[in-house]
Amino acid sequence: MTYEELTSKIMEWAHERQIDEADPRVEFMKIAEEVGELSAAFNKEKRDKLVDSIGDLQIALLIFSKLVGVDHHAAVEKAYQEIAHRHGKTTADGVFIKQSDLDEGK
């Protein structure tokens, strides 16, 4: 199944349950809940729960995007365009620091 087909099925599922017409604050809280579950799974090294939490978070973001009138694909594409040519450095801990932030410290 393509990502587009999967996204369509997720949105059909949400529509059948009228989740796509709910108060966006409810879905926002679902996102916060899923981030907490993701954090716990990562910290406890529970791989199955980690995978589940990542998927649940993606679904919650898709539904939230629809509720607030943002095209999820367009948002991801815009974010990629912003980072595509970004330069900087990655620390030994794996933290990427944008060049503009590095230049501010000079």
Write out the two tokens for 25. Answer: 């604050």
Domain that holds residue 66: 3-104
Residue type for 106, please?
Answer: K
At 106 the pLDDT is 65
Mention every residue, 6+ apart, whose C-beta is less than 8 A from residue 37: 49, 53, 56
Overall domain count for the chain: 1
Question: Mind listing the pLDDT tens digit for each residue in 67-88?
Answer: 999 999 999 999 999 999 888 8
CATH of residue 89's domain is 1.10.287.1080
Question: Mind listing the pLDDT tens digit for each residue in 32-41?
Answer: 999 999 999 9
